[in-house]
Structures are given as structure tokens and as C-alpha cells.
Chain A
Amino acid sequence: MSTSFPKDQEFLLPASNTFIMLSLFAAMLLNWLPWHGIWLALRPDFVALVLLYWCIHKPYRIGIGIAWIMGILADVADASMFGQHALAYTVLAFGCIVLYRRIQMLDLRLQMLQIYPVLLLAYVAYAAVHWQLHGYVAWEYFLGSVVSVLLWVPLTLLLQAIPRSRSDPDKL
């Protein structure tokens, strides 16, 4: 699964702020697609995934603050309680900031195993708030975390490939 690039170079690849913002924006639009029924349960949380990616790869640019703002926007779009997504994404970003050095060392498949607990923690935070406010939990909600973590490898490859394809013509 791991690419042919040496790992330390991989993570030094430049990423412009606009690219980061665009990727977060695209993830948000994907989350807002009209998902329905069982697809809603299986829907991966694209925003959480992209936030994870940037928190791990550019931890000094995308951190807890931006995660929180994305969470507030998600709360407005989903008509959930103010702060529900924000809390989940804050926890997520914190997990990444703590673990990013270790995760960067690992190969993509092992990264999945490291990321899953962080992602699950965010899901649990969201569900716990809902449980506190409404008194029950829809367990199929957690299916989304499994699908999300399975999408980690394709997403990482994609987000690494896009800036590289842009910089290639300059090299030639």
C-alpha cells in the first residue's frame, strides 16, 4: 500500500493554504449530499477524515481551532445542537496533535489502526452528547466510523497525488 516515496520526503511536500481549505470545503460538500436511509448510516464523515489528514500532516497549520470552526459549520448544516460536531472535531484534532509524530512514522495500513481509535473517540463524543440530550443512541451511527477508516488509504493517496501532479510540469 505504501508509496515508493521515502517517508520523510513524503511529508515535506508543500501544501498551499488554498489547497487545504479547498479540500476541507469539498469534504463538507460531500457530507451535505442528500444521503438517505442505510447510506446515511454508512456515510463516512469526510470532514473528519480530511481534518485528520491535515492535522497529522500539517499539525501547525490545521489544529484544534480550525477543527472547531468546521464543527460549528457542520452543526448549522445538520441542525444539530450548537457545539455537538464542534466538540467531536475538537477531540479528533487533539488526538491527532498528540499522535501525529507516531502516525507519520507508520505505513498506511498501520496508520489506519492508529487512526481508528481517534476517529472512534470523536464519534463517541458526538453520540454521548446526543445521549445526554435525548436519552438514546442509534448504534448504526458507529458503522460510519468503520467506513471512514477504510477510506483513509484512498483519501491519503488522493490528497498526496493532487499537489504532486500540479508540481510535476515545473520539474520537467
Chain B
Amino acid sequence: MAVLEIDQLTIDFETFGARQRVVEGLSLTLHKGEVLALVGESGSGKSVSARAVVGLLPETAEVGGRVRLDGTELLGLPEDQLRRVRGSRIAMVFQEPSTALNPVETVGWQIAEAVRAHTKVSRAQARTRVVELLSMVGIPDPDVRRRHFPHQLSGGQKQRVVIAMALANDPDVLIADEPTTALDVTVQAEILALLRSLSERTGAAVLLITHNMGVVADLADRVAVMRAGSLVEQGPVEEVFAAPTSRYTRDLLASVPRLDADSRQPEESADAGEAPVFVTRDLAVEYPGRSGAAAFRALRQVSLAIAPGEVLGVVGESGSGKSTLGRVALGLLRPVEGSAELFGVPLAGVRRRELRGLRRRVGVVYQDPAASLDPLRTVGESIAEPLVLHAGGTGAERAAQVRDLLDSVALPQSFADRLPRHLSGGQRQRVALARSLALHPELLIADEPTSALDVSVQAVIIELLRELQERRGFACLFISHDLAVVNEVADRVAVLREGRLVEAGPVGRVLRTPSDDYTRRLLDSIPVPDPVVQRNRRAASIEPRSA
């Protein structure tokens, strides 16, 4: 039975007097008790469509078509009646739990607020309901926790609170907009499990909006794929994954990095025994505490090495210290215990001048493509900057080098005159890559270089990075939260957890036959983008976990 019917939905945005159509003729039907995943990359219109359903778009948006909830038309409903639908019939869960909650009110107050928005309840009734909801979403000590402020909870707990708010009035439809994107994989697995059990228990239909194919495979019954505002394909999840009818869906699925894909064969190191480019021994690093607070130890007893020409993937969840390791290699943080050596030079007491010389041999690529290029400098100027600083030469020589570098990252030479804002995220990341390679570094430090990109773009950038690495033979410290990406890029992998090195070794061994419990848990938490495999994995893991 259809709960929510979206029929020929169109959405236009008006910006600077110009109209832009962002959703074109979207038709979807959500049935009772099912989980329908709406997937697509950024700009596909999946989130705006979901918000249009409950009238949460800004006033510059114009919505056309029909949206019916149990046969009642929602579009064009006066705000007051729409308000009574929101939260009581259709509830929402959002991406970023750390901002989705009001920072100055207790979580109990916020859940009670959701209850009070639709039913008149006494203070005591509200409190009882809050405690009930909190325990329903698996928060321990609900009577204590309800008095906590959001900043006192972890990310996963905050997302549970947001879910509790959404469930406050037993909605018929739950719209979950990238509910696990901002979470670590282990937390993501817990939240997915919670969403699944809640939808089974309450019978609410779930509209799941996500870009993550693993999440789709894990949770969805049916899937609808959007691209640039239009529906490309929809159908039962097994069918779409097994035999996608549209080319776009096929490409999208092919772009998803997979853990079960063949990992790189570590090159038979002919030059084994050559001195590592970067090596740490029992490394410990601290961030000084602010205003008398104790220093925070971000890394402890970490021993690892990167051989010349080797790609070392460093993986871990937030707070694991993986980025800190990159900062140590750059000489931005000094060891407090143990040692770190870059090109054989101990970094503990290195002098500024010497460090400058070392850094010249290192390239850096950061996560954020928008912020890693100076917005006021052209692409050519950005790429030429290291050349101006170190290589000397005439302007014409540098221009030629810039053209070569643009070629090597597969960008047209004409891009040299463009400003970063005229480039897409993936193009900016290519420029950043070109700049980092300008001085022919022996070591490239790539800190989440693809995390802000769409999967299809990510796939291309990863391919490019691999190709460049093979051609130029630099060593690479590849930092990522995504084990599947590391699987495709790295020769060896190091797993960090809360500042400690858990396990390290060849990618194939660590990711197939992990020896550490944490690595195993990490791997188990990652939903495989294949509904059948994922269901089997879940069935296998539910038994021991619930016991």
C-alpha cells in the first residue's frame, strides 16, 4: 500500500533572477513498511526532493507536481497544516548530528519539544515519553542522558537523539537524509542496525537518501537512482545492483571502491633494504592542552616505515591520529617520545633551514579542494608557486613546466589562466596534485584527498594518482578513513586506533585476513555494495552480536 506518492515533481530555484530547474519530473511511490533508497551524486536533486515533500525548501524554490500522503495532497497546503504533517506523519533524520541538535538546550528538552509540537502533554508525561524514546533508540541511562547537552554526547549518540526526535510522534514516513555520512564506519553500522530494527518495529516507511552504495545495499528494499534532477532508474535493490538497466547506474556502481576488489600486488622490491623515506620508532606526539588542560596525546608508540616508491595507506576513524601522522612527516609536529625520520634526518631537533630542504622533497594534497587553492590566484600561478620558490628559471620555462604538469593530471593547458572557482571539485584536486608534483617529490602526503568528492570523481582521481605514482615512482603516505579506497591505492596499510598502531602489513593480508580484532570490526562495519552479500554478512554477524 502506497503511503507517499510523488508524482511529476519539479523544483526550480531562482538565483539572481535566473531560474534553474534542479528536479525534473520525479515520480516515486513509497510503500508501507519498505525502505526506499534515493541515491545520486551531488547535484542530483535527491535532498531537495526530500525537503520539498515536507515544504522545507527556501522561498526561492518553486515546486510543481503532486505529493500525496495517504491520498492527501501536500503541495500547496497552508503552512499551518503542513506543520501538523511534519514530525507527526513525516519525520526526518539529517546528516550532521553535531549541528542537527540545538546546542544550548538539553536533548530531553528537544525531544519533548517535538512531542509538544503535536500533542498537549503535561511536563511529567513529556518526561516519560522522552525517557521511553531515548531507551528505544538505545541510549543507556535515559533519565540521566536526557539532561545532557548535545556537546556532552558522542556523534553516534547525537544521531540516536535525532532519530528519537523523529520517532516522537510515531510517523508513517521517515525521511533519512544521509543519516550516516558524517559518522565513523563502526558507528554507521550501529545506526544502520538501529534504523533497520526501528523500521521493522514501527512499520514506518523509510525514504533513505544517500550517496553510499554500501548503505543502500545494507538497508534498502528498493532503490531509485537520480542524476542531474531526473530519475534514471528504479527497482528492487537486488535487481538494480545485479543488472542495472541504465548506463549511469552501471558506471556509478563500477566507481564504488570495493574491499573485495583485487588489491595492488606489492612490487617485488628489487631495491629492498633501501633506506625508508619516512620512518617512526615508538613515536608519541602531543597537542598542548589549552588553558591548563592536560596535553592530548594524539599518537603513542607508533612504529612504521615507508620505503621509496611505496604507497602506505593509513586508515582509522576520527580521533585515530592518522592525520597527525601526516603532520609529523611534514615536520609540523615534533615527537615527544620516540623518533621520526624523514629521508634519514631525525625530525625531533631538526633546524628550520634543514626542514625547508626536506619539505622540498615532499608534496602535499589535502582533503578540501575548495580551500587548498588560493581563490585569488590562477591555476597556473598556483602550480608555478613551488617552481618560483625553488626551481628558478625564466617565466617562459615555468609556463612550459606548468603546461606539462597540467598535461600530466589530464587537464587542458588552457586551465592555467582560470581561477579555482571556475573549476569543479575534482578539477581543483587535480590542480592541487599537479602543484604537489611540481618539484618531483620523493614522498607525497595525501590526506583524505578524495573524501570530499563524488564517487565517480573519486574513482578518476584515484586512478590518476595510481598512474602518476607508477610513472614517477614517488612514495606516498595515503591517509584515509575509507578502507576500500586504500585497498585500491596502497601497497601496505597501517590501521590506527586512538593514537595507537593496531596492525600494519601488505594490503591484501590486512584487509583479507586481519589479525587484530579492531581491524576485523572495522572491516565488518563497512557495508558491501552488494545487497545479497551484505544480507549474508549481516545474518552471519547478527548471531554472535545479539548473544
* A and B associate in one complex: no
Give residues in A with beta carbon < 8 Å to B: none
